[in-house]
Amino acid sequence: MEIALKISFQYHQEKGNTKRKKFVSLKNAYHGETLGALGVTDVNLFTELYKPLIKEALKVEGPDCYRCSWNKKPVNCEAECFIHMQELLEENGDEIAGVIIEPMVQGAAGMNMYSPKYLKKLRALTIEKGVHFIADEIAVGFGRTGKMFACEHADISPDIMCVGKGLTAGYFPMALTLITDEIYNTFYKDYLEGGAFLHSHSYSGNPLGCSVAVETLKIFKEEDILKEVEKKAQYLEKKAREIFENHKNIGEYRQIGFIGALELVKDKEKKERFKSYERATYEIYKIGLEKGIIIRPLGDVIYFMPPYTIELDEIDFMLESCLEAIDEYLIKREKVEEKNRVLNNFVGFEV
């Protein structure tokens, strides 16, 4: 992420567009926790304390498909919510170096999945305005959304792409920042001209990391991992929808590729959330542990990002145990509420 931001900034400087110093990202975005990354991240928990040290990006209202202001679903929308990004780029386009985005799924925002039309519009406008499109594929790259890279859903190609995690199957710390030839050639100069992109770490280009990455890519090809994952993803979706969709406290089950997520609600009609102090998904996580599964709580959302090696019976176990954990929590919660109601009546004041 740091490299992407530095490259984008330096590119515009090299080209003489010295006004282009700002970055844009989406509200609730997560791009990591180093200082540069915190500037484009929008999760208070991580950013608040460090605000004095952070160079804050412009934050734009992005898609929120479950609670869509236009009352549309990603399948039938025209990414009307892009209007916010459009307004910002129309107004400040010539001061912006790049727009950074988690394509197709805003992870930490609550596995917020959105229409590829948003990305298409963003790609078109960033080209028009001479702004870099920086795709953060760290979480979604390498097959996670059903395509090798999430940008492929929109049939677009970014200027800069950040990848990690799946690059080494999550087993070795290795990341890449990919750039177009156009950007590369802007930096590449004859020795005497002194052109360079200066960024290095002790372990940059680590040979062991590179070997793990190369081997992982080989496995993707030789074992046709994407096809395997597609079958498992279909199974996950069918089963998860059967289990979760009619549940009175599950507002929505959403899935793209091999990422599934359910949103817990207190009231399905009103999409009303549980009170945050109840820590509903954390309580469910604790019950899940007793059943042998690790449920990842993310606000009101519980998500499934299984390893590609998972077997179908393990998917069953994962989903069924999760449902049991949710139901056990809700029963426990109902009992507490009932007790409070009795006490309220008895004492005459709210407990």
Ligand X SMILES: Cc1ncc(COP(=O)(O)O)c(C=O)c1O
Quick one: which of 222, 231, 256 has its CA closest to 312? Answer: 231
For ligand X, the binding residues in 164-193 under the rule CB under 6 A are: 164, 175
For ligand X, the binding residues in 273-312 under the rule CB under 6 A are: none
Which residue's CB is nearer to ligand X, number 102 or number 283? 102
Binding span for ligand X by CB under 6 A among 68-76, 131-139, 257-265, 281-289: 131-139
Which residue's CB is nearer to ligand X, number 176 or number 323? 176
Task: For the CB of residue 178, give the shortest distance to ligand X in the complex, in Å.
Answer: 14
Which residue's CB is nearer to ligand X, number 106 or number 186? 106
For ligand X, the binding residues in 26-55 under the rule CB under 6 A are: 30-32
Question: What is residue 301's three-state secondary structure?
Answer: strand
- Tell me how many residues contact ligand X (CB under 6 A): 11
The answer to whether 138 contacts ligand X (rule: CB under 6 A) is: yes
Using the CB atoms, write b or e for 235-247: b if 16+ within 10 Å. Answer: ebbebbeebbeeb
Quick one: which of 121, 97, 100 has its CA closest to 41? Answer: 100
How many residues does this entry show for the chain?
351
Q: Which residues pair with 161 in a beta bridge?
A: 135, 178
Q: What is the CA radius of gyration of the chain?
A: 22
For 211-216, the CB contacts below 8 A with 24+ separation are: 212/168, 212/169, 212/171, 212/172, 212/174, 213/167, 213/168, 213/172, 213/174, 213/176, 216/142, 216/166, 216/167, 216/168, 216/169
The answer to whether 263 contacts ligand X (rule: CB under 6 A) is: no
In whole angstroms, give the CA distance from residue 273 to residue 276: 8
Residue 259: DSSP 8-state: E
Which residue's CB is nearer to ligand X, number 170 or number 195? 170
Task: For the CB of residue 315, give the shortest distance to ligand X in the complex, in Å.
Answer: 23
CA distances from 49 to 35, 44, 52, 109, 277 (A): 12, 9, 8, 19, 21
Task: For the CB of residue 283, give the shortest distance to ligand X in the complex, in Å.
Answer: 24
The answer to whether 139 contacts ligand X (rule: CB under 6 A) is: yes
Residue 149 contacts residue 137 (beta carbons within 8 Å): yes
Which residue's CB is nearer to ligand X, number 139 or number 318? 139
Which residue's CB is nearer to ligand X, number 31 or number 329? 31
Which residue's CB is nearer to ligand X, number 79 or number 138? 138
In whole angstroms, give the CA distance from residue 80 to residue 63: 9
Task: For the CB of residue 349, give the shortest distance to ligand X in the complex, in Å.
Answer: 45
The answer to whether 213 contacts ligand X (rule: CB under 6 A) is: no
C-alpha dihedral sign at 7, 13, 17, 23: positive
Task: For the CB of residue 137, give the shortest distance to ligand X in the complex, in Å.
Answer: 8
Which residue's CB is nearer to ligand X, number 175 or number 210? 175
Binding span for ligand X by CB under 6 A among 60-68, 74-82, 134-142, 224-232: 134-142
For ligand X, the binding residues in 56-115 under the rule CB under 6 A are: 102, 107
Contact residues: ligand X, CB under 6 A: 1, 30-32, 102, 107, 136, 138-139, 164, 175
